[in-house]
Amino acid sequence: HGDHDLTIVSAQVKNPGRYARVIRDNQGNIKKIVETRNATELEATSKEINLGVYCFNNELLYKYLPEIEDDSKEELNIIDLVSVMRKNGHKIQAIKIEDASEFMGINDRFELAKASQWMRNKINHYWLEKGVSILDPNNTYIGPDVEIEADVIIEPNSHIYGNSIIMSGVTVTANSYIVNSEIGPNTVIESSKIVDSKVGSDSTVGPFAHLRNHTELGNHVRVGNFVEMKNTKVGNHTATAHLSYLGDAEVGSYVNIGCGVVTINYDGKEKHKTVIGDHSFVGSQSGLVAPVTVGENVLVAAGSMITEDVESDDLAIARQRQSIKKGYGRKYLEEKGKI
């Protein structure tokens, strides 16, 4: 700004479109800014456009604001201050920028989408130059605060936002959604949602898994399809392969969580914690009613409903013994007209 009373930002473009034109005199001094609809045929040939950024001497700004008159649309337009201040002998300068798209005007949803696309392309181009493989830059969404190391692969329609950190060797497959999360080296995120969580190295998440609320996975962990984890810490080499919910849990290392296992953490008023020790095996379709602790090297039989603590090295079976009534199946179906 220096000793100038007004500084504007402008750009030289090939196609000014509907942008207001910067008009200069024969000596190259700024004379005025004119809206396209009010420009003369000669003024409309100007390729220098106004980008809507102004730096005023405050005292002069408030002095001359009352001198602005209504335009053809009965609007008061701040660009008229340029001609007013020039008429009163004040110094005016323009700072020209090379890329006018950085100052794109946004007046409707279409222009907002266009600006978002420009920003998305700029961000994706930056990461491509840094050694990140973005398979479809036009269909990948990365926030401005995300950090990505080299040799990461990001497939189409992936969304990575917030203060997320994606480390080297990670693959993020199509339709993944990651927010404020850290993904360790050589991990694969398969079409999954991860929010406010941390995943260790050499792990796999998904497809269609959901990690949230400060879940933390160790290294060499497997979280399979349709698994949800909330506020849960998982040790190394632990597998939860499919169709399970672990909420408010602490799971050790080398643990196997069978299909359909649920930690029942909510009593209708408060959330409670479940602890599962190292090297334990929780059989399919089991429920763990928190607060409850399962020790190390424990086997929980499939279909059990665990309501009490299980000490290390024990087997827990909490289900009714199967009974068979001979011939009753056929009798029932005949009565219902099914056979």
Provide the domain limits for residue 307.
129-330
Here the CATH number for the domain that contains residue 191 is: 2.160.10.10
pLDDT in tens, 231-264: 999 999 999 999 999 999 999 999 999 999 999 9
pLDDT in tens, 186-201: 999 999 999 999 999 9
In a domain, 339, yes or no: no
| Residue-level pLDDT at 103 | 84
> Do 188 and 318 belong to one domain?
yes
Q: What is the pTM of this model?
A: 0.84
Dist CA 94 CA 1 (whole Å): 9
Here the CATH number for the domain that contains residue 48 is: 3.90.550.10
Helix (H) or strand (E) holding 53: strand 48-56
Are 305 and 290 spatial neighbours (Cβ–Cβ below 8 Å)?
no
| Residue-level pLDDT at 74 | 72
Dist CA 282 CA 273 (whole Å): 16
Mean pLDDT calculated for residue range 279-292: 98
Question: Of the ranges 74-78, 219-223, 269-273, 286-290, which one carries the lowest mean pLDDT score?
Answer: 74-78
Dist CA 101 CA 81 (whole Å): 25
> Do 176 and 256 belong to one domain?
yes
Dist CA 197 CA 232 (whole Å): 9
pLDDT in tens, 128-172: 999 999 999 999 999 999 999 999 999 999 999 999 999 999 999
| Residue-level pLDDT at 18 | 85
Model confidence at 75: pLDDT above 80 = no
Last residue of a domain, one of 85, 101, 117: 101
Q: How confident is the model at residue 315 (pLDDT cuts 50, 70, 90)?
A: very high
In a domain, 112, yes or no: no
pLDDT in tens, 102-122: 888 788 999 999 999 999 999
In a domain, 165, yes or no: yes
Dist CA 66 CA 32 (whole Å): 18
> Do 320 and 192 belong to one domain?
yes
3-state secondary structure of 121: helix
Dist CA 19 CA 194 (whole Å): 42
| Residue-level pLDDT at 76 | 82
Asked if residue 291 has a cis previous peptide bond (ω within 30° of 0), the answer is yes
Q: Which residue in 64, 70, 43, 51 sits closest to 7, CA to CA?
A: 51
> Do 81 and 134 belong to one domain?
no
Which one-letter DSSP state was computed for residue 257?
Answer: E
Q: Residue 201 has which token pair? A: 């190295």
> Do 282 and 212 belong to one domain?
yes
> Do 73 and 145 belong to one domain?
no
Model confidence at 101: pLDDT above 90 = no
| Residue-level pLDDT at 3 | 84
pLDDT in tens, 81-99: 999 999 999 999 999 998 8
> Do 78 and 155 belong to one domain?
no
Model confidence at 213: pLDDT above 70 = yes
> Do 167 and 305 belong to one domain?
yes
In a domain, 337, yes or no: no
In a domain, 117, yes or no: no
> Do 61 and 140 belong to one domain?
no
Residue 18 burial class via C-beta count within 10 angstroms: exposed 0-12, middle 13-18, buried 19 and up: exposed
Q: Which residue in 130, 204, 214, 217 sits closest to 172, CA to CA?
A: 204
Question: Of the ranges 53-57, 102-106, 194-198, 278-282, which one carries the lowest mean pLDDT score?
Answer: 102-106
pLDDT in tens, 16-51: 988 899 999 999 999 999 998 889 999 999 999 999
In a domain, 114, yes or no: no
Last residue of a domain, one of 101, 117, 150: 101
Are 205 and 188 spatial neighbours (Cβ–Cβ below 8 Å)?
yes
Dist CA 281 CA 269 (whole Å): 29
**Active site positions, annotated:** 242
In a domain, 336, yes or no: no
User: What distance lies between CA 225 and its chain's CA centroid?
Assistant: 21
| Residue-level pLDDT at 110 | 95
In a domain, 308, yes or no: yes
Q: Count how many domains the chain has.
A: 2
Are 150 and 132 spatial neighbours (Cβ–Cβ below 8 Å)?
yes
